Chains A and B, each alone.
Chain A
């Protein structure tokens, strides 16, 4: 264990840096071990959200939200914020979680249930508010059948969000769902 200090310096081309403030001073650790797979089972994955938070994506629609300090230590007290997305299907699993444009605290979870016999899938989208990790709205499900779309998830569902401006320059948020396949 060592001590790390992050400070803010200021200088001009002709003068050496002068410390004008301290951002962080405290203990450092080489890494933190969370052991979420031991708690929530094999296949549990983590998704980096931003510099202060990540999501643990576990089995059966369980997702856990964690906030950390700048040194990676768990920041919040008490039990982790968790939510169970109500999925249909024995092999349903959540794959990705992202924040999106409308509100900084809003997060969308993407999940897929596959019917290997009928060769169909169902896409689930769940919006949560990460301030308390409760649902903002009911989960939405979209059947991915041949009648509707040829899109299927073969490996891992991925989400992207972006904002465009319409002809009146009003922001319009979009969510893109795609199959990450094997490129990563």
Chain B
């Protein structure tokens, strides 16, 4: 039985919320691999999962939000209190890193550890 952490990158936790972020080239024709976003929550890996919930502009800053979900076993879900990332400074102009598709490298993981 693999552990919950097996195969996951640094800071990765099974069932945590992930997203991929691509910069669009200036002509809008192609996507440049940019970030793997990890929404780092404290989870019961056997029950909970996190997912991107919404995004918005907050105080002039692009803000992503994620939430933790607890499946109710009946196809529905219950919500934990929302975990917002508004304190996070997701500086999209910093740490920008392009990927050479001919020479793949590990995607940049931007850990958003901003529970509150």
CB-CB contacts below 8 Å: B1-35 with A: 7-9, 12, 17-24, 26-31, 33-34
Number of cross-chain contacts by CB at 8 Å: 112
Residue with the greatest number of chain B CB neighbours at <10 A, chosen from A103, A136, A149: A149
Give complex CA distance A161, B77 in Å: 27
CB-CB contacts below 8 Å: A136-155 with B: 136-137, 140, 142, 146-152
Residue of B nearest to A143 (CB): B104
A residues in contact with B21, CB < 8 Å: 174-177
Q: What 0/1 readout, one digit per residue, does chain B (57-91) give for beta carbons within 8 Å of chain A?
A: 00000101001010100000100000000000000
Q: Report if A166 contacts B (CB, 8 A).
A: yes
Residue with the greatest number of chain A CB neighbours at <10 A, chosen from B31, B92, B107: B31
Q: How many residues of A contact B (CB 8 A)?
A: 39
Q: How many residues of B contact A (CB 8 A)?
A: 39
Contact, CB under 8 Å: B29 / A137: yes
Q: Known pairs A102-B24, A158-B52, A175-B24; list 5 more (Cβ under 8 Å).
A: A136-B29, A174-B21, A180-B51, A182-B51, A183-B51
Residues of A at the B interface (CB closer than 8 Å) are 100-103, 106, 108, 123, 125, 127, 136-137, 140, 142, 146-152, 158, 160-162, 164, 166-167, 172-183
